[in-house]
């Protein structure tokens, strides 16, 4: 049988780097540290090598299909399949950074939503039985109760297809472009919209995976909890150590929960299609 392999996107810093570190210690197989910039990826590799760990670097920009294909070809040739796929890469912003809302929405959806979706679409055929897929999201902001009106009425995760979700994402972007997003019931923050669509993506894909001939494929959305890394910069309290009074945890602490979800033992059927934080399923609507 081919060697087992785990892939982590956006792993040159923050929680992604910590997930690679944890997988190198706890997963029996190769761990692929990916980064959109080769220089940053190689620096991250050196950090882990100094700790006596041996991940393998491969470039991956999740917004570029050619880049996703190159990684896929490498994995297919070398391993013939995938055992763990952690979709961690995401855009992050500085607190108070002045980015026009349409540009912010473009970035959040190009990276977090469509980038993640395209990675999963291209790697799905390679998933081996008992493979685990994790989609990193934010369960504090990415909850569907943030929706009202038309957006809420259209957001029926139980009956939606992946295609419906993509249509909704494009409609949201159009509404932002024309300044009508609030009229349709979308919240103010583009990050919030992207993250809640990612939670829905995990739910919708889990239904396809349940019917798949390959046994026991599990996909879940994961909120790591507020962590001292790029993803929390935008939301920091004035003292810089907490978000809404919640003290930030270290990336390695966050990574241990993510790796728990990415390494659910073979044959276990749950959680699947859920939003999970600190090893517990949370309601995606509250």
Ligand X SMILES: NC(=O)c1ccc[n+]([C@@H]2O[C@H](COP(=O)([O-])OP(=O)(O)OC[C@H]3O[C@@H](n4cnc5c(N)ncnc54)[C@H](OP(=O)(O)O)[C@@H]3O)[C@@H](O)[C@H]2O)c1
Q: Which residues bind ligand X (CB under 6 A)?
A: 9-10, 12-16, 36-37, 40, 60-63, 88-92, 111, 115, 136, 138, 223-224, 226-227, 229-232
What does the alpha-carbon distance between residue 53 and residue 18 come to, in Å, rounded to a whole number? Answer: 12
Nearer to ligand X, 204 or 255 (CB): 255
Integer CA distances (angstroms), 99 to 108, 137, 191, 229, in order: 12, 21, 12, 20
Nearer to ligand X, 85 or 91 (CB): 91
**Shortest CB 42 distance to ligand X, Å:** 13
> Phi and psi dihedrals of 200, rounded to 5?
-65, -35
Nearer to ligand X, 89 or 184 (CB): 89
**Shortest CB 179 distance to ligand X, Å:** 26
**Shortest CB 165 distance to ligand X, Å:** 18
Report which secondary-structure segment, H or E, holds 18.
Answer: helix 14-26
Nearer to ligand X, 128 or 136 (CB): 136
Nearer to ligand X, 184 or 275 (CB): 275
**Shortest CB 129 distance to ligand X, Å:** 27
What does the alpha-carbon distance between residue 202 and residue 217 come to, in Å, rounded to a whole number? Answer: 12
Residue whose pair of structure tokens reads 């929405």 in the numeric block:
105
Nearer to ligand X, 139 or 184 (CB): 139
What does the alpha-carbon distance between residue 126 and residue 139 come to, in Å, rounded to a whole number? Answer: 28
**Shortest CB 166 distance to ligand X, Å:** 18
**Shortest CB 2 distance to ligand X, Å:** 25
Phi-psi region of 80 (alpha: psi -120 to 50; beta: other; left: phi over 0): left
Q: Which is nearest to 85 in space by CA: 187, 4, 164, 140?
A: 4
């Amino acid at each position: 049988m081919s060697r087992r392999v785990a892939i982590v996107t956006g792993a040159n810093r923050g929680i992604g780097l910590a997930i690679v570190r944890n997988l190198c210690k706890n997963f029996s197989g190769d761990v692929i540290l990916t980064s959109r910039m080769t220089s940053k990826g190689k620096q991250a590799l050196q950090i882990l090598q100094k700790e006596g760990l041996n991940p393998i670097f491969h470039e991956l920009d999740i917004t570029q299909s050619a880049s996703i294909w190159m990684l896929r070809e490498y994995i297919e040739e070398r391993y013939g399949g995938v055992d763990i796929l952690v979709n961690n890469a995401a855009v992050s912003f500085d607190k108070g950074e002045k980015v026009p809302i349409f540009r912010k929405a473009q970035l959040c959806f190009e990276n977090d939503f469509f980038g993640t979706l395209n990675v999963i679409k291209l790697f799905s055929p390679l998933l081996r039985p008992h493979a685990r897929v994790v989609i990193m999201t934010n369960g504090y902001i990415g909850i569907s109760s943030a929706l009202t009106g038309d957006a809420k009425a259209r957001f029926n995760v139980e009956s939606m297809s992946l295609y419906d979700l993509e249509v909704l994402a494009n409609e949201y972007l159009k509404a932002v472009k024309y300044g009508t997003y609030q009229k349709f019931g979308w919240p103010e923050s583009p990050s919030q919209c992207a993250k809640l669509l990612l939670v829905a993506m995990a739910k919708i894909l889990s239904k396809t995976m349940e019917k798949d001939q390959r046994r026991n494929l599990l996909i879940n959305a994961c909120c790591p909890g507020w962590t001292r890394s790029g993803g929390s910069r935008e939301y920091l309290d004035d003292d810089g150590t907490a978000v809404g009074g919640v003290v930030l945890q270290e990336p390695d602490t966050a990574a241990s929960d993510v790796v728990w979800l990415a390494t659910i033992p073979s044959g276990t059927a749950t959680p699947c299609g859920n939003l999970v934080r600190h090893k517990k399923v949370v309601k995606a609507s509250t």
